[in-house]
Amino acid sequence: MRSGREFRPYPGASRLLETIHDGREELWTETVGDPPPVYGERWTEVDRRPLRQFDPTRSKLAAAVLRGWSGDLPAPGELWLYLGAATGTTASHVADLVGPDGRVYAVERSLRPFGKLLALSGRWPNLRPVLADARAPEEYAALVPPVDGVYADVAQPDQLEIFRRNVELLHRRDGCRLLLALKTASMGRERSSTAHLAEAQRDLSELATLAASVALEPFHRGHFMVGGRWGRDQRLPSAVPGRPSRPRGRRRERRAR
């Protein structure tokens, strides 16, 4: 399928493209994989670049971008550790973003989704599935080199602790980017979603420099993207020209048409 629409590179992420369709902003990744679609997403080709639609209703990372995430995104050539990869919906897009020279180590502990992830890695050469419990990173540390970034989406009560232990063990010494899809409902119902978010931010800010968290509503209820860079007093990419500083909506999209 070919498209006559204009696709623009997203600021700071050269393999992520944005376009406007029916007044709505859409995200697409330049794929490193082969068809068929992974989860029913649309494919197209623009200037000989094969693209896949990055669906915010299916991926918390796409939702975060559309909600104005201003922190780092996976970039070409980087190594990322992905915790809770399931069948590879978002992990395949992260692999697209790091491109053919990057790699994604995708950890999943449940056998059924792992089987699909393994099959997917036959079509995504830079995706390395790891069947393991993310609570025990020392068990796969020999398989995973120090990484440029850690993405976690495990939806567990101890998601913060799982994330922190993996980052501590596997981050590259000269810097590591952090993305945590925080599911507050998994942290207990006795406190509000915003109280859980505040706790997570407080915990992580002792060890990392955080970008502004974003709520993933209306795409993913009770979820936030939290992250930044490992280490205190790191420089964050807020100065990237053109990076949105607020949720992106229809008004801005109409103006761009």
Ligand X SMILES: C[S@@+](CC[C@H](N)C(=O)[O-])C[C@H]1O[C@@H](n2cnc3c(N)ncnc32)[C@H](O)[C@@H]1O
The residue ranges that bind ligand X (CB under 6 A) are: 59-60, 84-86, 89-90, 107-110, 113, 133-135, 153-156
Residue 153 DSSP class: -
**83 contacts: CB under 8 Å, gap ≥ 6:** 107, 134, 150, 151, 152, 153, 154, 162, 163, 166
* Torsion from C-alpha of 257, 44, 74, 64, nearest 10 degrees: 50
Q: How far is the CB of 172 from ligand X (least distance, A)?
A: 22
Nearest approach, Cβ of residue 16 and ligand X (Å): 16
Pick the closer one to ligand X by CB: 84 or 209. Answer: 84
Joined together, the tokens standing for residue 151 give: 């993405």
Smallest separation (angstroms) from ligand X to the CB of 233: 30
| Rg over CA atoms, the chain | 17
Nearer to ligand X, 42 or 135 (CB): 135
Please state the closest distance from residue 176 (CB atom) to ligand X, in A. Answer: 19
Place of tokens 């994989």: 33
Kindly tell me which of 12 and 113 has the beta carbon lying closer to ligand X. Answer: 113
Structure tokens at 238: 């807020």
CA distance 179 to 47: 31
φ, ψ for residue 136 (rounded to 5)? Answer: -125, 65
Cβ nearer to ligand X, comparing 155 with 207: 155
Give me the least distance between CB of 83 and ligand X, in Å please.
6
Please name the helix (run of DSSP H) or strand (run of DSSP E) that holds residue 123, with its range, or none: none
**Integer Cα distance of 69 and 214 in angstroms:** 6
Residue sitting closest to ligand X (CB):
84
Q: How far is the CB of 147 from ligand X (least distance, A)?
A: 16
Q: Which is nearer to ligand X, 13 or 38 (CB)?
A: 38
Which CB atom, from 89 or from 213, has the smaller least distance to ligand X?
89
